Amino acid sequence: MNPAGLPEQLRRAWAIAKKDIRLYYAKNSVLVFGILMPVFLFLAFFTGSRQLPLAFLIPGLVGTALLFTATAISPAIFSWEGRHGTLERLASCPVTTEAIVLGDMIASILYGIGITLITVFIGLALGLSLLHGITMIVSILLAACCFSAIGMLLAVPPTSEPSTPMMLSLLIKFPLIFISGIFIPLEQMPGWGLVLAVFSPLTYFTDLVRYSFIETHYFPVLIDISALALFTLVFTAGTMYLHKRTMPKRL
């Protein structure tokens, strides 16, 4: 066994993910909050903008759910663990910083996917049909990775105060919702809004979900998937690199 080898580090990242799920995600309050937050946002827009059809808004609900859940807990895990000394425990174990970050990402990916699937079923229960199931699965997987990497990027500033990354997280998540064609169709956005939308990964995910449900989309599917994959790659590499640099400052 080579403890520094990739297979062994992946196994250890999975152990960290299981620990995260047990400690931070598998709690009733977290699960309920994960579902309620996007549902309430959806209801607010649904009741406030009656001119938009349900078939347009449900993909927005799916997109918001995945963004909120995949970034719900992960930004604060490093701060919590730093405060309780358990991060030092992990740092003294034979696991790389990348494996610790990957473990945290895997937990948030699984949590994000789990909650998002519930919103997909809500859509189906409300009468939508899943026309492109494979596209839906691929886009949820990619977007979950991408959003969990965003969550971990928000955890980069070394602080032992969990409220700091959570506040930063809210400051980024809410503007993303408004520029990503969630509740305002991209076609109706002003030019500057469209420019901003291009830089939001949520735009491409929502576009893909809309395509999967109702076959309408703004960007070609291949562009959506490629953009999402590129964002995932850049954010994941960025978060690994930055955490490796800031880890000693946390300890």
Partner 1 sequence: MTAVIHASDLTKVFGKSTAVDHISFDVRQGEIFGFLGPNGAGKTTTTRMLTGVIPPDDGSATVLGYDIRSEPVQAKQRFGVVPETSNAYTDLTAWQNLMLMGELYGVARAQAARRSSELLTVLGLIDRRDQKVQAYSKGMKQRLILAMALLHEPKLLFLDEPTSGLDVQSTQMILAMLRDMNRDGTTIFLTTHNMEDANRLCHRVGIIRNGRMVAIDAPEKLKTAIDRVHTIEVSFDREVAGDALAALPGVTGVKRIGDKWQLTAEKQDAVILSLAAFSQQNHAAIVTLNTLAPSLDDAFLRLTREGSP
Nearer to partner 1, 158 or 185 (CB): 158
Nearer to partner 1, 12 or 210 (CB): 12
CB of 18 to partner 1, least distance (A): 8
Nearer to partner 1, 21 or 184 (CB): 21
Nearer to partner 1, 75 or 103 (CB): 103
Residues 6+ apart with CB under 8 A from 248: none
What is the crossing angle of helices 54-70 and 133-154, to 10°? 40
Other C-beta atoms closer than 10 Å to the C-beta of 199 total 12
Binding site for partner 1 (CB under 8 A): 1, 3-4, 8-9, 11-12, 14-16, 18-19, 22-23, 84-86, 88-96, 248, 251
CB of 9 to partner 1, least distance (A): 8
CB of 121 to partner 1, least distance (A): 31
CB of 2 to partner 1, least distance (A): 8
CB 183 within 8 A of CB 53: no
For 171, phi then psi, to 5°, come to -65, -25
The CB-side HSE value for 228 (13 A sphere, CA atoms) comes to 30
CB of 29 to partner 1, least distance (A): 14
Nearer to partner 1, 20 or 207 (CB): 20
Picking from 144, 22, 149, the residue whose alpha carbon sits closest to that of residue 75 is 149
The CB-side HSE value for 170 (13 A sphere, CA atoms) comes to 6
